[in-house]
Structures are given as structure tokens and as C-alpha cells.
């Protein structure tokens, strides 16, 4: 591939080499550079410009940079944006041949993408990209991040295109928006769910975190925006966005809303009004938060001209979304959920509390090397709503898990003394299930469908579901 082809659309300030040079792969890690590769110097936790010399020593064809380096280089306005455009060029810009729906917000992204996928795949080939990896026409591909880096993302787009996929429904994380991973991609629809405390270790404040997500909703990034009218940040999107904005909600006037919400055994039933078309909805997703998720998905589907009959049929057939309020029925009810923010935990605790049964026992922890300020808040939330809590480890990464637990204790001890700390997560789950009485509920929060636990940079095989089922076999039979 010629360098000029790779750089098509990139804002170039200066180059000290010819644009007709043949180049190989795009690389952002200098250790992986091979002869003829293009090294992009990205600025982040470290400065890629500091590794330009190493890349050129390994015979990189050129360095793409924001500040001049010694050797052959192309100086661009923004290497992050250049990376996104170059990755798209490398993989044939297939995003332009796909109809892309993005979902951003603190909570609900995964569930909404999977509901929309269930609706659209009734009549179309689809792909989903997010926390659970990528699913291309029912084939699962593992990914490292909620929103993959541009090279991986555009490779997925190419594979989706080659498989005949028409719609791609994907999660857009705050980090991805901040780092311009989606730069150059114009979504058919962009959905905003909500903003609550998360990632403050990275963004520093709620305002910066909110500004990042809100800033995504403009006519460059989307054709149509669909927002949660009940979230306090929704008005800022309406005020600042140049694009066409639609809404969904329960409490404030919305284009799509629900009435007469009730739980009937393992189903949620309600009347939906979607752009003045009324229908009865029955779905096997519990909790008020899931009503919001369904409303967002229906708003998107109706915007795409999907008939309400098709929507209702698809919704009635949805089962669990992996790791999202998954219920294991036994003589006690075990619920597994990904909730790992104060707001997310509040939502699932409230939904679990609402289920028939006795006491609610909650097993949870907080991730290491992440926002420390939310740990005591989550302790307070869990302690206030649960009848008993088992505080445990949850992906401690490079932190001491006991120190994380102590941070949670600072909050939970303010509202209750009905808790115990057990560092080993499998043992914590076993304790909760062993001590539960018939009819009680055990909520296991934080990891959802993850199949690992991250300790000191090593992802060890682990599953909350497997740990719960093992405990149920040992203690409940």
C-alpha cells in the first residue's frame, strides 16, 4: 500500500519523505515494528514520540507524529484522529458500507445493543461489538476492550462486510470517544443512556466525564441521536447538539415511553407508546432499568422503520443478556449481574429486592486501579438496600485486594454492621449461598459474564456463574 493511500483524509502539516513510498502494516507499539511498517506516535499514558527512534531503528518506513522526530516522518495535526482514518483506509473503509448504531452511557450499553440486535436480526444480518466481545452473524470474536482500538475495530467492520452484515450495533465507551477511536465514523443512530459516577480515575471529575460523552452527540458523528429524557444530562445534549434528537423515558415527556409497568412472574409487561404507536410489550428482562433499555432499543428500531409487530415478537423471545441480571433458580435465587458503579448497583439491588423471596444477600467488590472514590459509595448503597453483604475481591489488578475492601468498608460500616469480608471471590460466593435460607436471594455483582479475574496483570480463569453453581451443588443439594 502506498503511504498516500494510507494517509488519505488525514490533515498533514509537513512531511520530509515522498508520499509514494510503499508501506506495510500500521503499528502503535514500537516493540512490534518490522521493516516497512508505519509507526504512529500516540500520546496517552506514555508518549509515543519517545519511541520513534526505536521504531526507526527497527526500519519502520515512517513515523506519523504530532511533533517532529529525527528520521523520516509525517507531521499531522492529531495522531489519534490520523490513527482512526488510517485504520479505516487500511481496511478498505468498510464502515461506510455498514449501518452503524452506537450506544454510549455509564450503564445499559451492553443490554441495549443486544436488544437492538435481537430485533434487527429478525430480517437482517447483524454484528454486535462491546463488552462481551464481537458477534458477527452469530459468530463470536474475543476483543480486549469495550470499544476496540481502530485497527481491530475496522478489521471487524471488514469481516462483517464480507459476511454480508448490514447493521453493526456497538458500544461506544467514554475512553473510546476521548481517544477518537470512532473518528470518521458517522452512525445512523447514536443512543445516550445515562451518566453516573465511573472512570473518575481517568477523567478526574464528573463534568469532564460527562462532557466527553455529551460532546459525541453532534452532526459529524451521527445522523440521529436518541437520548434518555430522564437523565439530568439529557438537556445539555439537546442544547449543544446540532443533530436530530429523539427521546425515550418514563418520567419526562418523550417520543417513546412506557405505561402500566408490572412484573408478572419472570417477565416485565407494559404498554409502550413509540412515536404515537401503542403496543403491549412482554419481555423476560426484569427491573425498571431494563424498561429504559427496552425503550431505547424500540426507539432505535422504530427510527429504522422496523414494524411494531416485528419488534414485539423479537422482544418476547429475548432471554438473558450474558452477565446482566441472570437468574439461577434453586431453593434460593441466585442473580448474577455486571453492575460495578453506584448507580448500576442501586438499580440491580432494587430489582433483586423486588423479587419474591426472603432476605437479599449481596456479594460484591470493586475493581483495582480504577476510580477509588466510588468504593465507599458502593459500600453504602449495598449496605443500605441488602439484608446482608459479603464484601470480596473483583479484578484487583495491581492493587492489594484487602486495601480495596477496606475502602468499601468505610462506606458500608456507616449504614450497617450486617456484612462480612472474604477476599477470595469463590469462597465469598460459597459463604453467601451456604448461609442463605430457603427462599432467600443472593445477588453476585460486579463481574457479570467475565470469564477471568485480573490479578497482577494475569487474567486467571474464573466465572461467577461457575462459582455459584459449584456452591449450589455443594451446599444446597
CATH number, position 210 = 3.40.1190.10
Q: What domain range includes position 348?
A: 326-475
Indicate the pLDDT class of residue 477, thresholds 50, 70 and 90. Answer: low
The pLDDT tens digits of the residues spanning 116-126 come to 999 999 999 99
Same domain? 235 vs 309: yes
Same domain? 281 vs 168: yes
Q: How far is CA 368 from CA 146, 364, 383, 401, 438, in A?
A: 18, 13, 20, 7, 34
**38: which strand partners?**
26, 62
Same domain? 61 vs 177: no
The pLDDT tens digits of the residues spanning 15-28 come to 999 999 999 999 99
pLDDT surpasses 90 at 242:
no
Same domain? 85 vs 102: no
Q: Which three cell numbers stand for residue 121?
A: 436480526
Q: Angle at Cα 69 formed by Cα 68 and Cα 72, nearest 5°?
A: 100
Rounded-to-integer distance, Cα 306 and Cα 298, Å: 9
pLDDT surpasses 80 at 476:
no
Q: Which of 294, 317, 340 corresponds to the end of one domain? A: 317
| Alpha helix (H) residue ranges in 129-244 | 150-162, 174-178, 200-203, 206-215, 234-240
Mean pLDDT of 123-134: 96
pLDDT surpasses 80 at 108:
yes
CATH number, position 62 = 3.40.1390.10
Q: Which of 317, 346, 380 corresponds to the end of one domain? A: 317
CATH number, position 409 = 3.90.190.20
Q: Which three cell numbers stand for residue 467?
A: 462459582
Same domain? 385 vs 339: yes
337 close to 323: Cβ distance less than 8 angstroms: yes
Q: Which three cell numbers stand for residue 295?
A: 425503550
Indicate the pLDDT class of residue 45, thresholds 50, 70 and 90. Answer: confident
Same domain? 218 vs 173: yes
Rounded-to-integer distance, Cα 14 and Cα 414, Å: 59
Q: Which pLDDT score is estimated for 238?
A: 87
pLDDT surpasses 80 at 243:
no
Same domain? 215 vs 347: no
Same domain? 252 vs 156: yes
Indicate the pLDDT class of residue 320, thresholds 50, 70 and 90. Answer: confident
Q: Which three cell numbers stand for residue 74?
A: 509525517
Q: Which of 68, 90, 112 corresponds to the end of one domain? A: 90
The pLDDT tens digits of the residues spanning 171-230 come to 999 999 999 999 999 999 999 999 998 998 999 999 999 999 999 999 999 999 999 999
Amino acid at each position: 500500500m502506498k503511504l498516500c493511500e494510507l494517509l488519505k483524509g488525514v490533515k498533514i502539516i509537513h512531511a520530509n519523505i515522498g508520499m509514494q513510498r510503499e508501506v506495510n502494516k500500521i503499528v502503535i507499539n514500537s516493540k512490534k515494528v518490522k521493516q516497512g511498517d508505519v509507526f504512529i506516535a500516540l500520546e496517552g499514558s506514555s508518549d509515543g514520540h519517545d519511541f520513534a527512534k526505536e521504531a526507526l531503528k527497527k526500519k519502520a518506513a515512517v513515523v506519523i507524529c504530532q511533533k517532529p522526530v529525527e528520521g523520516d516522518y509525517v507531521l499531522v495535526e492529531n495522531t489519534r484522529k490520523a490513527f482512526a482514518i488510517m485504520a479505516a483506509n487500511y481496511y478498505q473503509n468498510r464502515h461506510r458500507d455498514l449501518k452503524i448504531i452506537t450506544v454510549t452511557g455509564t450503564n445499559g450499553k451492553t443490554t441495549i445493543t443486544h436488544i437492538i440486535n435481537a430485533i434487527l436480526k429478525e430480517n437482517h444480518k447483524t454484528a454486535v461489538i462491546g463488552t462481551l466481545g464481537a458477534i458477527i452473524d452469530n459468530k463470536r470474536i474475543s476483543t480486549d476492550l469495550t470499544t476496540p482500538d481502530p485497527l481491530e475495530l475496522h478489521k471487524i467492520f471488514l469481516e462483517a462486510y464480507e459476511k454480508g452484515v448490514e447493521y453493526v450495533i456497538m458500544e461506544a465507551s467514554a475512553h473510546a470517544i476521548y481517544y477518537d477511536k470512532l473518528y470518521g465514523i458517522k452512525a445512523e443512530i447514536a443512543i445516550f443512556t445515562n451518566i453516573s459516577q465511573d472512570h473518575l480515575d481517568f477523567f478526574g471529575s464528573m463534568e469532564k466525564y460527562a462532557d466527553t460523552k455529551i460532546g459525541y452527540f453532534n452532526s459529524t458523528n451521527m445522523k440521529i441521536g436518541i437520548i434518555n429524557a430522564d437523565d439530568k444530562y439529557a438537556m445539555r445534549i439537546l442544547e449543544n447538539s446540532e443533530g436530530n434528537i429523539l427521546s425515550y423515558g418514563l418520567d419526562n415527556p418523550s417520543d417513546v415511553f412506557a405505561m402500566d409497568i408490572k412484573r408478572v412472574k419472570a417477565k416485565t409487561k407494559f404498554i409502550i407508546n413509540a412515536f404515537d404507536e401503542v403496543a403491549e410489550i412482554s419481555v423476560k428482562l426484569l427491573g425498571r432499568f431494563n424498561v429504559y433499555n427496552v425503550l431505547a432499543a424500540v426507539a432505535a428500531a422504530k427510527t429504522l422503520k422496523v414494524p411494531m409487530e416485528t419488534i414485539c415478537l423479537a422482544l418476547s423471545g429475548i432471554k438473558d443478556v450474558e452477565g446482566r441480571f441472570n437468574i439461577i433458580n434453586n431453593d434460593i435465587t441466585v442473580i448474577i449481574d455486571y453492575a460495578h458503579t453506584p448507580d448500576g448497583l442501586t438499580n440491580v439491588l432494587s430489582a433483586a429486592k423486588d423479587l419474591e423471596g426472603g432476605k437479599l444477600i449481596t456479594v460484591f467488590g470493586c475493581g483495582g486501579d480504577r476510580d477509588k472514590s466510588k468504593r465507599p459509595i458502593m459500600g453504602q448503597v449495598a449496605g443500605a438496600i441488602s439484608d446482608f453483604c459479603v464484601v470480596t475481591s473483583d479484578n484487583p489488578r495491581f492493587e492489594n485486594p484487602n486495601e480495596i475492601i477496606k475502602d468499601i468498608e468505610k462506606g458500608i460500616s456507616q449504614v450497617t454492621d450486617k456484612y462480612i469480608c472474604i477476599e477470595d471471590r469463590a469462597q465469598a460466593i460459597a459463604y453467601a449461598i451456604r448461609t442463605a435460607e430457603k427462599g432467600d436471594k443472593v445477588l453476585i455483582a460486579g463481574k457479570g459474564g467475565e470469564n477471568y479475574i485480573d490479578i497482577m496483570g494475569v487474567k486467571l480463569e474464573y466465572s461467577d456463574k461457575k462459582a455459584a453453581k459449584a456452591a449450589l451443588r455443594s451446599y444446597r443439594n
